[in-house]
Each structure stands twice: as structure tokens, then as C-alpha cells.
Amino acid sequence: MITEPERTKPSDSVLDTQQAGVRAADCMVATGHPLAARTAIRMLERGGSAVDAAIAADAILGVVEPMATGIGGDLLAMLVEPGGKPIAYNGTGRAPEALTAELVDALPGRKIPERHPLSTTTPGVVRGWFDLHARYGRLPMAELLAPAIEVAEAGFAVGPICAREWTLFEPVLRSDPVSAVLYHAGNTPAAGERFANPELAAVLRAIAAGGPAAFYEGEPARAAARASRARGGVLAEGDFAHHSGHFDTPLSAEFRGLTVLECPPNTHGLAVLEALTELEKLPLDPADPATTLAAVRAVGRGLAKAREIVADPAGNTVCTVVVDRDGLAVTLMSSVFKRFGSGIGVPGCGFVLQNRGSGFSAPGHINGPAPGKRPYHTVVPAAALKQGRFHAGFGVVGGAMQPQGHVQLLLRLAAWGEPLQAAIDAPRWRLESDTALAIEAGTPAPIVEALRAAGYADPRDGGELGGRSDFGGAQMVMRAPDGSLLGGSDKRKDGMALGT
């Protein structure tokens, strides 16, 4: 039976201080929900690998954070094998074969709007689970999915951040009759209220028994195609049948003694490396506001280059980082893009389709739409090596905040030597455009004044969420100098770090 843990110090980990994070000798998990963390630890205790634990946690997150992720979304991962070899996995979905440039050219602004029926792309999460499991899994997939099935069937207490976002994005649910019923539009669950999704439990049970074919060649694919067509979209059963993910070589750059690893295009991970390469040449005095200004400018240039050669940014995601006792490390991230994705619910299946197609640029751009093409993707799981061995796995959810969060975390940790949890909790900034910069409360006044004096204006509103979630949610596991593991989980989310 899956029990919902109290948000207290775990008995099997030692909390060094509120600044350092959770420390453990053998295994560590950092993820966005207590149920996911407990499930991941349980899989590790049963002899599962880091990938087993991450899959089990991700399946839980798809149940308890339906606005952020689920089997209608995509998956990417960054892995570091025990010997130090890094590998990236790209499980992002492609545009439907029927999505032509002509269809997009006829839209206002020649671009797919965020919640438009043409924004749906093929989901990659389920195939990603099985691809990763085939290479790194130890426990049976049915065992990994069983906790998520149980939680979906029996229900769970909605977390406070989750409840807030559920309410904020209730208008997205109202726009679709299936989603409106599934996710209780007009009566969204409050924090602590129980929510169950038996339709999703049934689909997960079929996947556990029948493998990826149960999803990509079964009723979920057929129902998704029908739902897309009913709303004017072009996603078809054949798009599901033809989906595949692939393993790849990460991009990398050196920064303050670390080899930082990012996912290659179609993601914007290269923006992080562009910024860090520029900052590596500077003294980076943490007390000097000029350092933060230089970081903002470097990130701005990195993002501009990504837009030029990859595409246009935005989005929402979940992140799980796991290191097992053998030293295998994985940062696994999944996402339906914007909260509740396209908003289009799949009848009888308990999930929504993502809206990654809105990441395409206008026809004619390098990132312009085409049949079977992957759009620009904001999800960038990352890791870092030190002297050729695993040093850290991390991710910062939040669309365009993801690369910006990576740079800010690495500045604090690698350049300034701050403790892990303190670096995660520290106030952040977020470029909303080339000249608009959101600055989180708690940022020292001299830094705020220097940024505003440099011409970075306060955005006109608080962003889509109007609150601190605009500044992302980080999950991170680091190898300490003594060989132990440190885990940190962002206070901006409902998650936690646990270790053994």
C-alpha cells in the first residue's frame, strides 16, 4: 500500500542543515512530490537501478501532477554510467505526418498558438520508459508501474503547489469537455483534497502488461487520434505507431573545474553552455552586482543563439534525479509543456495531449513545422562531471527558466561554493524577453538596482503563474568530497530529497 509521507525529516537520511541538504551514503533521490520520492527509494531498496527508481517516480508524478506531466507528454534523460560515461536520451515526440507548413501558414501570425488543436505532437513518455528500462532496468516494468496504478486508482491528497496551479489553469480544462470532466473544472481540488483517476490506472495497467504496444498501437492511440480530429487537429494513429526515441551524445562545456553536460538539439541546452563558456573567463565575484549583470547578459545571448539555430522557448515539466549504490545517475524529466498541455483530454484514458507543436516557429524558419519533425523543446535534464566522474545531476523545471536556472545554480555551486540547498533556495531572476527581467523577492537591493539601471525592465505582470513558480523548481543530487551523496529539492515545488 502506498502511504503519503508527512513532510518531515526522513529517518533514513541525515539532514546536515537547512543549507546543505539531505546527505546519504549509498543512494539519493530528489523529485517533485513526496510519494514519488518514497516510491523511488522503495525501488532502490528492492535492488532496482537508478533508472528503475526514476521511472517509478515519473509514473507517480504523472498521476499527482497532471498539469505538468503524464503519458500524453514527452521524456528526456541525462545519464552518467558508473564509469563516468555520459549518455543523453531524447524521447520527444514528432509532429503529425499531416501537419504541413501550409496549415500553419494559414494561421494568424503564421504560428501555432499554445492551446491550438494543431499543437498536439506524439507523446514520448511511455516509449522513453521502456527504452531506458531495456538498457538500464533491473526490476520488472510491472513492478515499477504498480505504485502509480495504485495511487491513480485509490486517489491521493493534492499538494499545495499542485492545487494552486490546478485552480489557476482551470480555464484550460473548461475549454475541452473531456478534460473538464476528468479534472473537475469548476470544482478543482483544494490542497489536501483527494483525487483519483481510475481511467489512467487502467491504461497504466495495460501498459504494464502489454508493453509500449499497448499504448502506441492500442486504444490510447486510437482514442487520442479521435480526440484530436474532433477538435480540428491532425494527430493520427500512425503517428503513434511510428514514434521512436534515441540515445545520443551530450553537449558539454567546462566551467570552474566541471564538465557540464546538456542535451543536444532539439532542446535549448546549448544556451546553458554558451552562457557558461562566456562566464568562465570572468572573475565572478558574488558580492559584485556586475557579476549578476554579466550572467543575465550571457544567458540572454545564449538564449538568442538557441532561438536562431533551434527555435522558440516556453513550458512546464517535472524532474527526478536518482543516484544508485552502484553509481549510476539519471536526471529524468517529463512534460506536457504548458499546464495541462493542449487541454485536449483523451476519452476513457485519463490523460491530456501535450502541446509541443506550439514550439514550432513560422514556416521558413529552421524550426518551422514539417511532417514528422520534432519542435524546439525546452526540457533539458543535465549533469556534471568532475575529473571524469559523476559530480551532479540536476534539472530546473519551468520552460525558458530551465537553462537560466542551470546557469544560476552552477554559479552558486561551482563558482561561489554555496551549500546545495542554499543555492537551490536562493532568489532567482528570469529573462522574459531581451529587455524584460523578472527578479524574485529576496534579491539584494544593489543587484536589483544594477539590473534595472542596465535597462532590464520589470515585466508588466507576474507571468502566467503570477508567483514564485515562474522561477522554476530545481531537483539536484551531488557527490560530496567524502564520497557521500547530497540531495536538494526546491521549496518552490511540493517535492523532497530522500537517501539511504
Whether residue 161 lies inside any domain: the answer is yes
171-201: pLDDT as tens digits: 999 999 999 999 999 999 999 999 999 999 9
The DSSP H or E segment spanning 391 is strand 389-397
Rounded distance between C-alpha atoms, residue 483 and residue 228, angstroms: 50
Whether residue 46 lies inside any domain: the answer is yes
Rounded distance between C-alpha atoms, residue 180 and residue 291, angstroms: 47
Mean pLDDT of 156-177: 95
Tallying the residues shown for the chain, one arrives at 500
Range of the domain at 88: 14-499
Percent share of the chain, pLDDT over 90: 87
| 44-53, 81-90, 302-311, 322-331: the lowest-pLDDT one | 302-311
Instruction: Give the closest residue to 80 by CA, choosing from 307, 305, 332.
Output: 332
Residue 467 has pLDDT above 50, yes or no: no
Whether residue 310 lies inside any domain: the answer is yes
C-alpha pair distances (Å), 27 with each of 122, 137, 227, 447, 473: 34, 16, 42, 38, 22
Question: What value does the CA radius of gyration of the chain take, rounded to a whole number of Å?
Answer: 21
Residue 8 has pLDDT above 50, yes or no: no
Whether residue 2 lies inside any domain: the answer is no
Whether residue 143 lies inside any domain: the answer is yes
**Which pLDDT score is estimated for 462?**
54
Rounded distance between C-alpha atoms, residue 392 and residue 379, angstroms: 18
199-213: pLDDT as tens digits: 999 999 999 999 999
397-434: pLDDT as tens digits: 988 899 999 999 999 999 999 999 999 999 999 998 89
Whether residue 5 lies inside any domain: the answer is no
Task: Output the pTM of the full model.
Answer: 0.94
Residue 314 has pLDDT above 50, yes or no: no
- Band (pLDDT 50/70/90 cuts) for residue 315 is low
C-alpha pair distances (Å), 154 with each of 166, 324, 339: 20, 29, 24
Residue 440's CATH number? 3.60.20.40
Please name the residue ranges forming H helices in 376-487.
401-410, 420-425, 445-453
Whether residue 489 lies inside any domain: the answer is yes
Whether residue 3 lies inside any domain: the answer is no
Q: How many domains does the chain have?
A: 1
- Band (pLDDT 50/70/90 cuts) for residue 138 is very high
Mean pLDDT of 160-179: 95
381-396: pLDDT as tens digits: 999 999 999 999 999 9
**At residue 447, what is the residue type?**
I
